Amino acid sequence: MSELAIGPGKKVTLHFAIKLENGQIVDSNFEGDPAQFEFGDGNIPEGFEQALVGLKVGDHLDLTIAPERGFGQHNPSNIQTLKRSDFKDMELEPGLVISFQEPGGELPGVVVEFDEKNVVIDFNHPLSGKTILFEVKVLEIQ
């Protein structure tokens, strides 16, 4: 078994699960193909990546990721009220995720509430403000 540890420049293969504090699983690949990434390539949030530093092949543990190190704090200024007419004949319901085209790409927003004049959209990440339990099992490090 290799003694390589996760850190800058290393390629990592792992299984993971992202859970809420109540144990609800948000995402997991334990039943499927493992994830692969190169440390520092920007494919996973920095707080998750930093929590992996020093882990070795065979390590299987739960890491707690605070909101500011995970998906950020919930920001009230990211909740916007738009005109209902901007949504044409779209059928809306609370919780509906809508993709908005921005100069830098697509930006998802969640319908909070609406009436005949306005639609309130939350542009915060759905996991913002939440402490995340990050279960990882390190399979390979190169």
In this structure, what token pair is assigned to residue 12?
């990592």
Specify the residue for token string 């909740």: 79
pLDDT above 60 (res 9): yes
**Cβ count within 10 A of residue 15:** 18
What pLDDT is attached to residue 71? Answer: 92
Which amino acid is it at 30?
F
Which residues does 51 contact at the CB level (< 8 Å), separation at least 6? Answer: 63, 65, 69, 134
| Under 8 Å between Cβ of 63 and 136 | yes
Has residue 2 got a pLDDT over 60? Answer: no
Ordered domains of the chain (ranges, CATH): 11-72+127-141 (3.10.50.40), 76-122 (2.40.10.330)
pTM to 2 decimal places: 0.77
Tens-digit pLDDT profile for residues 122-131: 999 989 999 9
Tokens of 89: 């004949």
- 3-class state of residue 123 by DSSP: coil
Residues 14-30 have a mean pLDDT of 95
Pure H helices in 17-130: 46-52
140: which strand partners? Answer: 13
Confidence class for position 81, pLDDT limits 50, 70, 90: very high
CA–CA separation, 122 and 120 (whole Å): 7
Per-residue pLDDT of 94-107, as tens digits, reads 999 999 998 888 99
Asked if 121 and 140 count as a contact pair (C-beta separation under 8 A), the reply is no
